[in-house]
Amino acid sequence: MSDTSVVDAELLTKYYGRTRGIEELSFRLEPGEVFGFLGPNGAGKSTTIRTMLDLIRPTSGRIRVFGLDPRADGPAVRARIGYVPGEFGLYERLTGREYLDTYASLRGGVDRGAIDELTDRLQVDPERRIRELSRGNKQKIGLVQAFMHRPDLLVLDEPTSGLDPLVQQTFFRLIEESRDRGATVFLCSHVLPEVERVCDRVAIIRAGRLVAVSDIGALKAAAVRRIELHLDRPVPPSAFSSLASVVSVEGHGDVLLITVRGPLDEVIKEAARHTVVNLTSHEPSLEEIFLDIYRDGGSTA
Amino acid sequence: MKAVLVRSLRELERAAIGWSVAVAGVALMYAAFYPSVRDSAANLQTYFDNLPDSIKSVIGGNYATPAGYLRSELFSSLGLILFLVFAIGAGSRAIAGEEEHRTLDLLLSTPVRRRTLVTDKALAITGVTLLLGTVVFVATTIAGPLFDLTVPASRLVGASLMLVLLTIAFGAIALAIGTATGRRTVGNAVAGGIAVVALIVNALAVSVPALAPVKPLSPFRWYLEPDPLVSPVRPVNVVVLLAIALAAYALAVVTFERRDLSA
């Protein structure tokens, strides 16, 4: 193991009774990186996170955070973590400010200015009672609570759920600022664009197993994309199927469905030789990327 | 960490006010009834004498004396029920309630230790129970003489103290079950069930000799015998009730430290 890793999981396994949580996950987070943890709901993302915070204990395998055991050294580990759970409740009777002040004191004191700045930037009124807040505004209180003590490690489980797009942008800036001051970020999501937007590396988890850990550029390059090309007259699929980046072509008269891996450049240049009526490109879904990675049969570094 | 205790107390703030008002109201109400009850005490006594021994042993002595009246009406019926309902509810809610409302993950993602959380919740419940005990003492001390309901202050202190200790014991049992299972209803049902069974055992043991050996297992035995409104508090009774509370508290800590929290 590396002494400098912020998180170091080794064959981390968790069963709930006989139900699978996660199986033999091994990965590392290096200081200052934004690490995306991508997978469908139920894949084991929250299970992984909750072992880092000692909310649940691994069945076997090992996890270290800041080189420490979250169980034996819980308070020391958790003091340096900011956490947004996937689903959480707040103390509904308190105002946002009372809630955040409580959390500040649970953490041994937090600069009041930091709280004000965050509530201001995320546009949530801290003087309102939490039970009066919308779901998105409750999510913002959860975010403020996670960022306010400037933690060395941010552990975020579907943090943008319920946030409107403008606030999501602010959230992404907060992530980037945290990275810039040297913090490490573990971002769980089932939405690819979110992970693409801010992550340096991404791990893909499915059915409790890590299917790939890759840097984000490589993942995108490996991802297949489906193009729907409308031309003004029928063109034989063979015109495109010979291109190196094309995985497959289906022709339906003057409409071609082309599956492409990597950059679209070749396909666009070929298409430009014909008269293009319309072109739509479908972002590869997570499922397609999974299938693609499965086809390649495993992980790239 | 002080913050956890402060938070735990604030959480019980409303309950403390509500239950204090209820306890004071019930104490005043019974005090106000006393003159008319005493006047018809002769009839009541006949009625009482005809009750089975087991029921007599629970509701106690003599309606005609202030101590007997207070014990029957306040310290072994409605007053007792108010105390137990508060403590069992608060005990099973302490951890399981946070878990069911999904506030526990965030709370324990801070540097707070699990045992600190259980301890401070238990201390907060103990504090409110002491407050309720003080209310019952003050209310009977002030209202009693207005209605000829006079019991020596030392006996009132003793009875209030024993009621507080019994309540803390059941609160701790509810805390242990709620914390071990993460489910409030289980805590309420088990602790409430234990209270009912223990009360029945205590009552029936008078007339059913077979139950005599298990009677010491009933917390009510240590609360009611000897009658704290008549005799001085016995240290052994205090110790037994405290031991039940501490054992249940320890069970809460140990099970909580060991288990997974539900998401």
pLDDT at A300: 42
Contact between residue B32 and residue B147 where contact means Cβ atoms under 8 Å apart: yes
Per the DSSP assignment, residues forming a β-bridge with A37 are A188, A203
Residue A176 pLDDT level (bands cut at 50, 70, 90): very high
Q: What separation in angstroms does the CA of B135 have from each of A288, A294, B24, B131, B161?
A: 68, 69, 6, 6, 11
CA B111 to chain A, closest CA, distance in angstroms equals 4
Report the half-sphere exposure of B111 (CA within 13 A, side-chain side). Answer: 17
From the list B2, B3, B102, the residue facing A88 with the nearest CB is: B102
Closest of B196, B2, B204 to residue B88, by C-alpha: B196
pLDDT at B92: 97
- A-B CB pairs within 8 A amount to 74
Choose between A237 and B16: higher pLDDT: B16
Mean pLDDT estimate for chain B: 91
pLDDT at B34: 87
pLDDT tens digits for range B109-167: 999 999 999 999 999 999 999 999 999 999 999 988 888 888 899 999 999 999 999 99
Residue A289 pLDDT level (bands cut at 50, 70, 90): low
pLDDT > 70: what percent of chain A? 92
Exposed (0-12), middle (13-18) or buried (19+): which is A272, by Cβ within 10 Å?
A: exposed
pTM for the model stands at 0.86
Q: Is the pLDDT of residue B223 over 90?
A: yes
> Closest chain B residue to A17 measured between Cα atoms?
B260
Mean pLDDT estimate for chain A: 89
pLDDT tens digits for range B52-68: 777 776 665 566 788 88
Distance between CA atoms of residues B20 and B27, nearest Å:
11
A106-120, B33-47, B160-174, B193-207: lowest mean pLDDT where? B33-47
Q: Note whether B260 contacts A76, CB cutoff 8 Å.
A: no
From the list A55, A79, A106, the residue facing B105 with the nearest CB is: A55
pLDDT tens digits for range A69-101: 999 999 999 999 999 999 999 999 999 999 999
A151-155, A220-224, B245-249: lowest mean pLDDT where? A220-224
Task: Find tokens 């200015």 and name the residue.
Answer: A113
Residue B203 pLDDT level (bands cut at 50, 70, 90): confident
Choose between B245 and B42: higher pLDDT: B245
Q: Note whether B106 contacts A85, CB cutoff 8 Å.
A: yes
Q: Is the pLDDT of residue A154 over 60?
A: yes
A86 contacts in chain B (CB < 8 Å): 263
Residue A287 pLDDT level (bands cut at 50, 70, 90): low
Closest of A134, A104, A106, A137 to residue A119, by C-alpha: A137
Choose between B218 and A292: higher pLDDT: B218
pLDDT at A288: 65
From the list B11, B110, B261, the residue facing A106 with the nearest CB is: B110
CA B112 to chain A, closest CA, distance in angstroms equals 6
Residue A235 pLDDT level (bands cut at 50, 70, 90): confident
Residue A299 pLDDT level (bands cut at 50, 70, 90): very low
Residue A301 pLDDT level (bands cut at 50, 70, 90): very low
Contact between residue A65 and residue A77 where contact means Cβ atoms under 8 Å apart: yes
Residues B215-224: what's their mean pLDDT? Answer: 91
pLDDT at A295: 62
Q: Is the pLDDT of residue A1 over 80?
A: no
Q: Is the pLDDT of residue A286 over 70?
A: no
A31-40, A50-59, A283-292: lowest mean pLDDT where? A283-292
ipTM computed for the complex: 0.87
Identity at A122, one-letter amino acid code: L
pLDDT > 90: what percent of chain B? 65
